[in-house]
Structure 1
Amino acid sequence: MSGDTAAAVQAGGDAQQAVGRNRIQVSSSKKPLFFYVNLAKRYMQHHDDDVELSALGLAISTAVTVAEILKNNGLAVEKKVRTSTVDIKNEISTRSIQKAKIEIVLGKTNKFDELMAANDGDGTAGDGVGKNDKFDELMAANDGDGTAGGGNKQRFVIDFPTIFISSPLLDRSS
C-alpha cells in the first residue's frame, strides 16, 4: 500500500482526501452529493487531466450518481470504469472482508470551460445548485397554462388517489 493510500485508510477513508493526483474518494455518508460534484468540477477546472472517482461498498451508488450528473450536464465524458473487490481487514477480528470497489475516470468535454463560465456568470459559481439549462429551456417554452409551448401541447398532470376514511366518530348522520 502506498503512503497516500495508507494515510487515507488510517484517516478512516475520509472522503474528501484526494489520494493520488486527481482521485476523489467518495463516501456515502460523510459529505453531501453535490460536494463531490463541485470538487470534481474544481479538479477538472484547475487541472487539464482527468479526475477519478473512487468508492467502496455503499458509496458506489454515490460515485455513479456524481459521474452521471457531470455527464448529463455536459461537463465530463466517461473514459474508463474499473470494478474490483478489495480485502478490508476488520479491526475487531482478524478476518478480512471483501468489498466492491469502483473507479470512474472522467475527462473534460470540449465545452467544459464554456459551460463553467456560463455557470459562473449566472451567480451559481458552478455549485450545481443554480439554473439547469434544459430546465430553463423548458420553462421558457412553457406558455403559462401547464403545457409546453410551440406546437407541442403536452399537459403535465399529477393524479393523486382519493382516500375515504370511515369512522363512527366522523359519522354525523345521527
Structure 2
Amino acid sequence: MEEITDGVNNINISDSQKRNRIQVSNTKKPLFFYVNLAKRYMQQYNEVELSALGMAIATVVTIAEILKNNGLALEKKIMTSTVDIKDDSRGRPVQKAKIEIVLGKTENFDEIMAAAAEEKEARENEEQS
C-alpha cells in the first residue's frame, strides 16, 4: 500500500488535469490496483473520479460497485459521452464511448478503513508468530 501512496504523491499533474481522477485501462493494471488507488484518493480528496474509454468502461463500473458494496463510496455523478480518437491504422477519427463516475466517501468510510487496517495488522502479526 505504501508504494501506491508514494506513487500518488510523486505524480506530477498539470493544472488542466484533476488530481483526484483515475483513468482506468483494462489492460495495464489489475482490478484491485484501481480499487486500492480509489480508496487512497478518497482518503486524500474525499472523492474520486473514475474515467474510462471503450472496453475499460466495464472495469470502471466494477470498481465503483466494489467500493459501493463494501460501504466505502456513494455515487455522486455519472457522465457518459463519446470522444473522437485518431486511429492511425485507418487514418480517420473513431468514436469511442467514455464514462466518468464520481464517487464520494460514505459517512463511515474512515471507520471501515480503520477496521480493515486493524484486521490486516492482526493477520500479519498472526503470520509472524
TM range (shorter): 0.7 to 0.9
1:78 to 55, 75, 79: 75
Higher mean C-alpha displacement, 31-40 vs 89-98? 89-98
User: What secondary structure is seen at the aligned counterpart in 2 of 1:110?
Assistant: coil
Q: Distance in 2 between matches of 1:37 and 1:91?
A: 32
Q: 1:20 aligns with which of 18, 21, 36?
A: 18
What's the CA shift for 1:46? 1.7
Q: Report how far residue 79 of structure 1 moved.
A: 0.5
Correspondence 1:119 to 2:103: no
Q: How does 1:1-174 map to 2 (within 5 A)?
A: 19-48=17-46, 50-123=47-120
Q: Which amino acid aligns with 2:72?
A: L
Distance in 2 of aligned mates of 1:123 and 1:110: 22
Spell out structure 1 runs of 4+ moving beyond 3 A: 16-19
What CA deviation, in whole Å up to 9, does each residue of 1:139-162 have, x standing for no partner? xxxxxxxxxxxxxxxxxxxxxxxx
Is residue 89–residue 96 contact of structure 1 (8 Å, CA) maintained in 2?
yes
Q: Which amino acid aligns with 2:108?
A: K
Structure 1 stretch 115-124 or stretch 28-37: which is displaced more? 115-124
Give deviations 1:89-146, integer Å, cap 9, x for gaps.
012343000000000000000000000000000117xxxxxxxxxxxxxxxxxxxxxx
Q: With the length of structure 1 as denominator, give the TM-score of the two structures.
A: 0.59
| Cα shift readout 1:20-75 (whole Å, capped 9, x = no counterpart) | 22000000111000000000000011223x20000000000000000000000000
- Which structure 1 segments of 5+ residues have no match? 1-15, 125-174
- Structure-2 separation of matches of 1:17 and 1:42: 17
Amino acid at match of 1:59: A
Greater Rg, structure 1 or structure 2?
Answer: 1
What TM-score does the superposition give when structure 2 sets the normalisation length? 0.79
Corresponding residue pairs, total: 108
**Which has more strand, going by share of residues?**
2
RMSD: 1.8
Gap runs ≥5 in structure 2: 1-10, 122-129
Q: State how far apart, in whole Å, the 1-side matches of 2:96 and 2:86 are.
A: 10
Greater relative contact order structure (CA < 8 Å, 6+ sep): 2
